Structure 1
Amino acid sequence: MALNMLYKLYCTRLVLLTFVLYEVTSFSGFQMEPSDINQAEGEPVYFTCIVRKLDDSEYVSWLHNGHKISKNGDIVINTYSHYSIEFDSAFGSYNLRIQNVQRRDKGGYTCTVYDSYDQIVEESRTANFTVLEIPQQQYPICSSTKPSYRVDQSVVLSCISENTTPLALLRWVHNTGGSESGLKESLTGNYEKSYSFIAKQSDNRAIFTCELTTSANPSIVRNCTIGPLDVLYPPIVRIQQTRDVILGNEAIFICYSDANPQETTFEWSFDPPIGENMYLLENEIILRIKKTLSSLNGTSVICKVTNSIGSGSSKLIVNVKSKESINNVVESNNGKETTKSEKPNERNKNKSNNQNSNSNQQLLQTRSPNNSSTDISISLVVIIALVCIIVILGLALIPVGYMKYTRRQPSDTISRGRPVSIPDVYFEPRDHIDPMLPQLGLAAPWMRTVGVQVPGECEYDATYNTQVMPQPRQVYYTQRMYPASSL
């Protein structure tokens, strides 16, 4: 019994000593804990955790929303493949890095110490991670309530963005005088911003743009467009005459129209009516009055155009002028005479009333000499320019002519008849064999001589144009620069 008591006491002390040693060498606290972070999607984020004095049986894990995702330096869940642990056991650092932040990464992150029995020894503070969401690439989306609108009808355009945290900012870019609505939740759970205005003719074929920006990433700017907008309106008509309507001449009138959709019919009418044989229509747009009569003066010409939306018309009153009145107006404008029926006394009476027109005529008359002098000066400038060009060309041709006609011409020509130029200095090789010497009975060897011509002088070989005179053999070869020993 005594031995058993002593053995139990020994074991108890040993356990207490082991527990004391374990407490001294085990985990003693966090040197650095993770902090709250806000980060945008697609960006990296970094959480710090540094511990002190871990036991060999203890390890560190990161918890995401209470779920263990790592053990020491390894990620233990496959769905967190974009996570990594920067592990340094000597320094005690177990830092968590998220390479490409996703929306599902938001939540709380805790650095936790476990013992060998997977029991939590201690936890750090929980760091709250807020993911700044960015609308997906397909946003914004622009839409309109109708494919087309009529003039004076209300137009409502919608710009839709994803419901994110924080909300994206939508802005319509157009200067039609419309109004924007605030952000409101759409039927699909997204957010939209509307733009409304009253359709006008000028809005046809217009393009409207919605711009998206977000505080999560200020560098992101996207936009969507609606258009060209289809605004329907009845024809807008106008009549234009090509020239003055002169008595006895042909008169031409053209009907112009602007409509959406396209015009379907053109109708011409007259008030008072005229006979159908007096006019002719071309493509329903051009009206030709074959011969203008005085009875057409004051007649209203009306063009009515119709499309599927409605009709529009325009009216022009015909003003028939006589040829004499046209000639008088032309002569009056030229300053030659006013009218044939006007007398000098009447001109004096109407002088005060026609002061502006007379002053204009005097202005034209005073300007006419200047115009003629201007024409003369322009002609003079043109003549001087031509003379200068001719002189310059002549001066340029003088050196060419000099070089061509002062070049030395040879006495002979080639087969084509073109002169062949001979240089001032040339070399002409010639081969020959001296004739047999009658005194010696020997023939001289083959030799090459060269004739040289230099301006002003003439040097040539002594053998040219000379005859071989009888002479002793030794003298002959001495002149030919052959030593006697060589023979």
Structure 2
Amino acid sequence: MERNSNLKRHLCAIIMICLISELQSQTILSQPKSITKKEGESADFTVTLNEGDPRTTVTWYKDGILVDKNDSRITYDEVERGNGQYTLRITSLKRSDKGNYNAKCEIYSREDIRTQNAELTLIEIPAEEYPICTTWKKTYNIMDLVNVTCVSENINPQPNLKFERRKTNSTILGNETNIWISMEFRAVPNLNGQSYTCRQFGDRLSAEYCEITLNVTNEINVTILEQEDKLYDVGDIIKLQCIGNYSKRANFSWFINEKKILQYSNMVEIKIEKYMNNGDNVTCKIIENSPEEGNASVSLRINSNELTVEEDPKRVCSNVEVHVSSIGAIIGLLATITVILFLILLTLLYSTYHLYQIKKNKPDKLLVQHHLLPRSSTRITTVSDDPPDSAI
């Protein structure tokens, strides 16, 4: 018995649903339809009933909430209610108007009827101030890093951004409110007064543009370009270049922590040694013929985990300095040794020549001495027994 009772209830429910559907199909001739509109346009939702009873009232809901009639943009158009047509009209569409709309039809002597949902899809339009072209600084020095950014609003669907006269497109980045593209490059003198244009466009968007002009100074300025922007380890080689708005006659000097390591060249290679410190400053100074001087410095980013404390009273800051001083010392030593050997050779040659002359001239001297001696004479002595007259 209980099973039969449940079956009867289910059958009654099915019959009621069919009757209500049939009643709705007979009452609602046309349902409101989903539409897609651009922001700022107008949207109409219309329901048509099969009778124009003046006692029928129609109210509209958005996402289950009653549409506010006090909004000046919203109108209940019932001019054609005699023909059974009831229209909800929304002008100057806003982003908040997106959603699902339906109508509640209160027909005299019948149950209220709800229409199907109709979705309003909105093509959002960026605000009038977009796109916006920006840069980090109003004026750049020679070889400063320049960043030009084009910003738009993060809307649905997302607009496209592109710098004009650029071969490659920049990657679009963004957050909840904005999207942007950027390009970076070094400031050089011929970029002074250069303009950059960004275009904002989309499938259903009209193209909009923004433009920015660079200001680059022509004053002497020097910067240092690292080969790689990274954390260096002991043994790594850092290549640094001193670049600026200078002539070919400019003189360069390189320093590490105010200690000169190199002169004349605008490039230097530095090997990271264990006794060097993270944050050591490398400075390039440039002197033109005029008294003006430009300089720029960069701090070395060294992995402190590999640094050790070593005895270095003079604190040689760079392998470049060691190489330069070692080469100079070696050259000086070789020059000294060469001079000494040359003097020794001259001395040996002179001594050899002197001994040779002595040996060659010795017999002649003896012969000369022999000829100069007096000839020997024979003395005859007579022996007598008589004493001399003086003795008598």
Which TM-score band (shorter chain)?
A: 0.3 to 0.5
Structure with higher RCO (Cα < 8 A, 6+ apart): 2
Higher alpha-carbon Rg: 1
TM-score (norm 1): 0.38
TM-score (norm 2): 0.47
